[in-house]
Every structure is written in C-alpha cells, then in structure tokens.
Amino acid sequence: MRHLMSPLDFSVEEVAQLLDLARDIEASPEKYAHICDGKKLATIFYEPSTRTRLSFEAAMMNLGGNVLGFSSAASSSASKGESVADTIRMISCYADICAIRHPKEGAPMVASMHSSIPVINAGDGGHQHPTQTLTDLMTIRSLKGRLDNITIGLCGDLKFGRTVHSLINALVRYENVKFILISPEELKLPGYVREDVIKKNGYEYKEVERLEEVMPELDILYMTRVQQERFFNEEDYVRMKDFYILDNAKMSLARPDMLVLHPLPRVNEIAVEVDADPRAVYFKQVQYGVYVRMALILTLLELKG
C-alpha cells in the first residue's frame, strides 16, 4: 500500500504516468465516472481549507465515490485529546482512502504509519502540499507541452511559501529549468532551497527585486500570496504586500505565450484586470487540480480506467 506525503514520493516516470492518466480523465471523464462506485474518501481537515477539501471531494464524486469527514479540528475528536494515530485507525474502518490536512508538520506521516488505507498529505503546516505541486506540474505540462526547458519566475513570498519550495524541488528533476527568484530582500528564498536544491543540482537561477525587469524572459510566472500571518509586525506587511502586484502594465512586458499561475486564493497580488488575459491560467489550474486528484485517487487505490 502506498501513501503520498511529498511530491518526490513519485519518481519522474511515475509523475509522468499520473499526469498521463489525469490527461486521459480530462479527455474522457465518462470512462471514469463509476470507477470508485462504493468507495469512500475521508477528508480529515484539522484546519479549514475549502479549496483543497472541495477539490478532493469533487474528484472522488467525479469517480462515483462518496465522501465523509470533518472540515475543522473543532468538530473532530482531536478536541477530546485523541492522537492522530488513533484517529486514522478509526478512519481506516470508515473509508477506503484518506486526505489529511493538519497544522503540524509530519502529522500526515504519523497518520500514514498507522493507517490501513492510503493516506494523502493535503497540507501539513509550512511543510508539504504535494497535490498542489502535482497540480502545478499538470498545468505547466498541459498548457506549455513540457516540463523541461522552461524559465520560471517565482514571485512574492519565497521565504515562507510552501508551494514555491515544493515546486522547485519537483522541477529540478527536469532538464534545463531556469529559476528567476523575484522577492523583497526580507522574503528571499532560503539558502537550504537556493543552495541545496537549485545550485547543488546544477540549475541556473537569479534573484531580482523587481518583477518588471524579468517579465520578458519568462515562460511561466508563478505568483504567490504575501500572507499577513507570516509577518511579525503589521508595518512590515503593509509596506511590502503591494510590491509585487501583477497588473496589465506588467503583463504587457511579457511574452505572448507566457503563463501566469497562482496556487490561490489570491488577495490583491494579481489585479482583477489580469483575469481576462488569456495568459492568466490560475482558474484553469483549479480545474487541473481536480483531474490530478482523480488520477491520484485511482493510482493509490490501484484502480484502472
């Protein structure tokens, strides 16, 4: 039995198979509409995340399966002092597969060690969020046609941004990827990613402070939210949050085939006017997220289309 804790749990070949399956699901959803009839997904969310939870639930329902679970710790037995290990043993009696989100790093790993059903990490604190990364990969591959030979700009909060670290780790398995790191000094990519992941693996990168100056080079622009809760004081947040706002003026500097991705939710880091630009694919990304999760559920349950 297999779990998904990190996007690196799958080899490059396995990622390719997963994305191929997701593409086939996109092309022929009716083939998969009853493949999980009688199966149940448990969504065990110790902190709310509507987007991720509903994406998993839509995915399971698209496969014909059912969903049960809880959407916040308040309505769970965690409030009675139960351990994650005991909770997953209980959930193993109720469902065939489980997606777990937890504010503590490593909680999904603990769950997977005591589970008798496949466990998917649906986000553990600032640590991993592998289905977001798989979604990003599918979006790039589907709309760009490739995962290698790309120049990707990563913009915003690169210090705390879990999705950015995770995406970098996933992309250094493909050839000739160039990273442009766009952030204020205070939110630069940490050394353990810049040095140990990008540089050590022999990939090219550069760090810049202004989005405008690199727009023309990019194949992909990956925008991220500057989360207020990551800041220690209000003043710093207010000063920096608007530094890296994407608008039509900046978009006019980019290539006609550049793609803008965003893990969402966005607050104001992408102006609403950009939504109408065909290069803005962050809502398509949401749809790809459903296909990837469908493919993942099938893969972990070892079901064929």
What are the residue numbers of the active site?
Answer: 51-52, 80, 101, 129
Using the minimum distance from each CB to its own copies, give the nearer residue, 17 or 227.
Answer: 227
Q: Is 143 in the site for its own copies (CB under 8 A)?
A: no
Q: Is 40 in the site for its own copies (CB under 8 A)?
A: yes
- Express the helix, strand and coil content of the chain in percent, nearest 5 each: 45, 15, 35
Characterize 58-78 residue by residue with b for buried, 16 or more Cβ atoms within 10 angstroms of its Cβ, and e for exposed.
bbbbbbebbbebbbebeebeb
What binding mask, one character per residue, do residues 3-22 give for its own copies by CB under 8 A, x or -? --------------------
Q: Which two tokens stand for residue 218?
A: 């990019």
Using the minimum distance from each CB to its own copies, give the nearer residue, 6 or 49.
Answer: 49
Other beta carbons within 10 Å of 21 = 20
Q: Which helix (H) or strand (E) holds 205?
A: strand 204-208
Residue selected from 9, 17, 51, 144 as contacting its own copies according to rule CB under 8 A: 51
Q: Please report how close the Cβ of residue 269 comes to its own copies at its closest, in angstroms.
A: 11
Q: Is 94 in the site for its own copies (CB under 8 A)?
A: yes
Q: Is 289 in the site for its own copies (CB under 8 A)?
A: yes
Using the minimum distance from each CB to its own copies, give the nearer residue, 218 or 280.
Answer: 280
Q: Please report how close the Cβ of residue 40 comes to its own copies at its closest, in angstroms.
A: 6
Segment lying near its own copies (by CB under 8 A), choices 47-55, 120-128, 148-156, 206-214 = 47-55
Q: Please report how close the Cβ of residue 84 comes to its own copies at its closest, in angstroms.
A: 12
Q: Is 129 in the site for its own copies (CB under 8 A)?
A: no
Identify the bridge partners of residue 100 per DSSP, sorted by sequence position.
44, 121
Q: Which two tokens stand for residue 181?
A: 């790191």
Contacts of 105 (CB under 8 A, 6+ apart): 124, 125, 126, 127
Identify the bridge partners of residue 45 per DSSP, sorted by sequence position.
101
Q: Which residue in 8, 296, 292, 13 sits closest to 169, CA to CA?
A: 8
Place of tokens 């589970």: 115
Residue selected from 61, 208, 245, 253 as contacting its own copies according to rule CB under 8 A: 61
Dihedral-angle region of residue 112 (phi above 0 means left; psi in -120 to 50 means alpha; beta otherwise): alpha
The C-alpha atoms of residue 265 and residue 120 are separated, in whole angstroms, by: 21
Q: Is 71 in the site for its own copies (CB under 8 A)?
A: yes
Of residues 206-265, those binding its own copies (CB under 8 A): 264-265
3-state secondary structure at position 95: coil
The C-alpha atoms of residue 296 and residue 286 are separated, in whole angstroms, by: 15
The C-alpha atoms of residue 171 and residue 152 are separated, in whole angstroms, by: 10
Segment lying near its own copies (by CB under 8 A), choices 15-23, 83-91, 152-160, 164-172 = 83-91
Q: Is 86 in the site for its own copies (CB under 8 A)?
A: yes
**Residues in contact with its own copies by the rule CB under 8 A:** 33, 38, 40, 42, 48-51, 54-55, 57-58, 61-62, 64, 66-72, 74-77, 79-82, 85-87, 89-91, 93-95, 264-267, 272, 283, 286-287, 289-290
